[in-house]
Structure 1
Amino acid sequence: MNQPWIKARRWGLGGVAAVLAAALMAACGGGGSSSSDGTTATTFASGPISGFGSIIVDGVRFDDSGAEIENEDGERGGSDDLQLGTMVEIEGGAIDDSTGRAKALRIRFGSEIVGPVASVASDSTSLVVLGQTVELRPETVVDDSLPADPQAWAGLVVEVHALMDASTGHYVATRIEDKDNALLFKLRGVVAELDTTAQTFKIGDALISYAGVTDLPALFDDGLRVRVRLQTTQVEGKWVAVSIRSGVRKVEDHDVARLRGTVTDLTDETHFEVNGVPVNASAARIDDGPVTAGARVEVRGTAKDGTVIATRVKVLDEDDDAIRGIELHGTVGDLNTEAKTFVLRGVTVDYSGTLIFKDGAEADLADGVQVEVKGRLSTDRSTLTAVLIEFED
């Protein structure tokens, strides 16, 4: 049967500055920070990377050539950490709406889970990692560091970038890759069944001991979202916490804020969280609603006092290109006019089907030509099936 996810190679981004900066999303009362070249960060974006040619997040093509990159703990990162499906938060300059471009100043990346695969569903549409159910969807990117058949993943240690589905408590994977070199496991989730006597709590079905952790987050209690690092071996059925930090996402004030992800918490249709970021949509236009727990949404607005004040919210359908579409920019290589394929950023592009050519024609394709390709990965995960090829200067 055709498997509902995407198999992809690691796609390098090249030219990304890996400079350690102050914490990307540290709360403050100002209206954005400045980069070393004086550019003011006026834009905040959060979501999975959906394309390259710089990096594409929430439909915006961010120039990352001078960006500072770090993980969620403030540790230095680099281009290899930014892959298709990686969950990121970006501070950038103003968005040019005529081109859909902006300059990325700071990029923070982070996954939800690092741990061993305990089991894989017989239909290969989900797996269990550290007591959490992880769903594989058509848009899930599976790195080629893993076997092609998910049934072979049982027992392997993986890293999962994901969105939380609040309606099911499941993690919806945006990217999965091999992590057999992990020195510690990791889990982001909500504290439940806290037992201060036994010094244990649960995230999903994972029972965690925090007896050896002295520095706990403020207001540590049931319902708090946390990030936990764990020893790689269980003790008496418990995962042993090495550190516990708040998992609440903090957002600086920005003139423009864009979110794409799932509703991870819902108070009502106009007050909810997306990817853990609070949203106030009381004055927003809501398209294709209603907003429900676990819904995929795209939010546009401004960020103020740690909350995105939405002007527009769009509820996305599972087949929406905003979820499943992939966009690549780069130079054509290995053109095969007989098979009607070429390679772009390490991905084989199939242009044999029905598609649109813009600012050129099929006859203009040649090795070395700069193009933009939009499409979806084939069900066998071998090629990007193009729906649009645009020739670029």
Structure 2
Amino acid sequence: MKSFPSLSAALSRVVLALAVFLVSACGGGGSTDLAGVGSGGSGVASGSVSGFGSVIVDGVEYDDSAATRQAEDANGVLLNVALKLGQRVRVVYAGARVAASIEVQAQLAGPVTQGPAADGVLQVLGQRVRIVSSSDDATRSNPTVLDGFATASAIQAGDEVEVHGAWAYDSTQGLWLLVASRLERLATAPDPVLIGGVASAIEGTVVRLNGAAGTRVDGFPAGSVAVGETVRAWVARSGLAGSPLVVQRVAGAEIRASDLDASSTVSLSGLASGYDAASRTVVVQGVRVKLADGVVADEAALARGEFVCVELSRSGSTLVARSVKQRGGSSDLGRTAEVKGVTRGIDWTAASVAFTLRGTAIRADGSVIDATCRAVNATTDVYVEVRGSVLGSGGAVTASSVRCSQSYSGSATTDYTGSLESIDTANRSLRLRVSPSGALLTARWDGRTYFEQHPASLPVGLRVEVEGVMDQGSSTLRLTRVRLAD
């Protein structure tokens, strides 16, 4: 029978894991925890990106206009990154869901060690990963966003990938696997690699991942991990042939002890595992929680391992789910992808339309395009709302509805494509000749802006896609992302 950590043991490990994370992060960019975030309706949410309005995590929208968007590297430095559909993220927010920081947390990054079998299961760094190919998946998981692969069958051993998703226990095989929400081909081989999973056994400083015969990883501080908890760590590529693998650094946790003390709301989304009907406890992404008295849930769905979102609190040494949300009926919880933003240059009169919005490829048949779009000139800025689902490669959203409006908030995120007229790295500004109108746009960047290519290396005349928010009371775009146009 599969064992899971006790509630008190899990909580104490979370506290210790937090301490370890804070110490290891001091040498780099630091932690994403914010001092004084505990008042005024603050919170922390851990889940998967299901769309963009600002940013949408499992169906809940957070204003990211002033947020940092970063990922931790092997040295503990937080680097600016682009947000993409299907990524696993940790959002720290305040007030009316205004995000202060968004940390992207991949679960695996390294070589495919075994290609997909007929059941959609492959291996990355020896860890089992399941590709979800249908919206009718038994776990109610979204189809996996495949970026860089036309189909799952195109993935081969030796491909370098980054994988996001939720860990789930497979009772038929007695092991944990990662149900992928996003699998992206990497242009270069990462070194060190990122390995993750659920601790199945502890042998001093050695953690065995995901099963009785799973990968042994050495270097975890004694007592910092309990059986059943989720871990992520960096390992030198040169040591992948050895056993045990040797940890260079342990990554920050999704939910931390300070979250429960400093935040009014802490939510965690993932797949249910190890549901115990007698105690009404369930494990979500390595955290075991007890359903609070009076909380109503579809317990049969929890036992089947379906998607769940729990809101956490603490009662003594017990982690309690004070609310449980599950997909089904009117509870979408991110099953529908939503992408919203301001753009221009789209021929809405075409029989079918393909365009990019918020860095996301959109494909829309003419039958789903509303008349509010058909009347818009291609040279006019328009606020576009897309609803649909992710099908096929590249993270493209196949639209079920597209609506447009020429009336929108000045804080709406805006996308433009055009050619660089000039770039001033000293003053962090650029000018863009926007397609197709030819209008000249002035934009500036700051320390939160993500550049796909270093700004000093961008030549005049290069076609780029930019994303940002108009500065209040001005016509200058404050950039959040700059990428090369396809």
User: Aligned residue for 1:202?
Assistant: 208
AA at the equivalent of 1:53: G
Query: Which structure: larger Rg?
Result: 2
Deviation at 1:262, TM superposition (A): 1.3
Q: Which moved more, 1:178-187 or 1:249-258?
A: 249-258
User: Aligned residue for 2:17?
Assistant: none
Q: Where in structure 2 are the equivalents of 1:22-101 lying within 5 Å?
A: 22-25=30-33, 33-34=36-37, 40=40, 42-71=42-71, 74-80=76-82, 82-95=83-96
**For structure 2, which runs of at least 5 residues remain unmatched after alignment?**
1-27, 134-142, 409-486
**CA distance in 1 between partners of 2:100 and 2:46 (Å):** 14
**CA distance in 2 between partners of 1:303 and 1:195 (Å):** 29
- For residue 335 of structure 1, give the secondary structure of its aligned residue in structure 2: coil
Q: Where in structure 2 are the equivalents of 1:149-228 lying within 5 Å?
A: 150-168=153-171, 169-179=176-186, 180-195=188-203, 201-204=207-210, 205-208=213-216, 210=218, 213=219, 216-220=221-225, 222-228=227-233
**CA distance in 1 between partners of 2:64 and 2:228 (Å):** 36
Contact 2:30–2:78 (CA under 8 A) maintained in structure 1 = no
Note if 1:350 corresponds to 2:364: yes
User: Cα 1:347–1:159, aligned 2, differ >3 Å: closer, same or farther?
Assistant: same
User: Aligned residue for 1:325?
Assistant: 336
**CA distance in 1 between partners of 2:94 and 2:87 (Å):** 21
With the length of structure 2 as denominator, give the TM-score of the two structures.
0.62
Contact 2:108–2:195 (CA under 8 A) maintained in structure 1 = yes
**CA distance in 2 between partners of 1:181 and 1:278 (Å):** 34
Note if 1:258 corresponds to 2:267: yes
**CA distance in 2 between partners of 1:307 and 1:63 (Å):** 32
User: Aligned residue for 1:273?
Assistant: 283
**CA distance in 2 between partners of 1:252 and 1:320 (Å):** 26
**CA distance in 2 between partners of 1:25 and 1:189 (Å):** 23
- For residue 215 of structure 2, give the secondary structure of its aligned residue in structure 1: strand
**CA distance in 2 between partners of 1:348 and 1:209 (Å):** 41
Contact 1:189–1:203 (CA under 8 A) maintained in structure 2 = yes
**Residue-by-residue CA offset, 1:141-171 (whole Å, 9 max, x unaligned):** 1123x46554343211211111001245211
| Count of aligned pairs between the two proteins | 350
- For residue 190 of structure 2, give the secondary structure of its aligned residue in structure 1: coil
User: Aligned residue for 1:334?
Assistant: 346
- For residue 142 of structure 1, give the secondary structure of its aligned residue in structure 2: strand
User: Aligned residue for 1:384?
Assistant: 397
Which of the pair is proportionally richer in helix? 2
Contact 1:164–1:294 (CA under 8 A) maintained in structure 2 = no
**CA distance in 2 between partners of 1:266 and 1:279 (Å):** 10
Contact 1:42–1:94 (CA under 8 A) maintained in structure 2 = yes
**CA distance in 2 between partners of 1:285 and 1:235 (Å):** 45
- For residue 334 of structure 1, give the secondary structure of its aligned residue in structure 2: coil
Contact 1:347–1:384 (CA under 8 A) maintained in structure 2 = yes
- For residue 299 of structure 2, give the secondary structure of its aligned residue in structure 1: coil
Deviation at 1:373, TM superposition (A): 0.9
- For residue 191 of structure 1, give the secondary structure of its aligned residue in structure 2: strand
AA at the equivalent of 1:377: V
**Residue-by-residue CA offset, 1:323-369 (whole Å, 9 max, x unaligned):** 532110122543252323141414133143457x5xx6353344331
Deviation at 1:220, TM superposition (A): 5.0
- Please, what is the CA RMSD of the aligned residues? 3.6
**CA distance in 2 between partners of 1:49 and 1:315 (Å):** 17
Contact 2:90–2:103 (CA under 8 A) maintained in structure 1 = yes
User: Cα 1:287–1:226, aligned 2, differ >3 Å: closer, same or farther?
Assistant: closer
**CA distance in 1 between partners of 2:199 and 2:224 (Å):** 11
**For structure 1, which runs of at least 5 residues remain unmatched after alignment?**
1-19, 27-31, 96-101
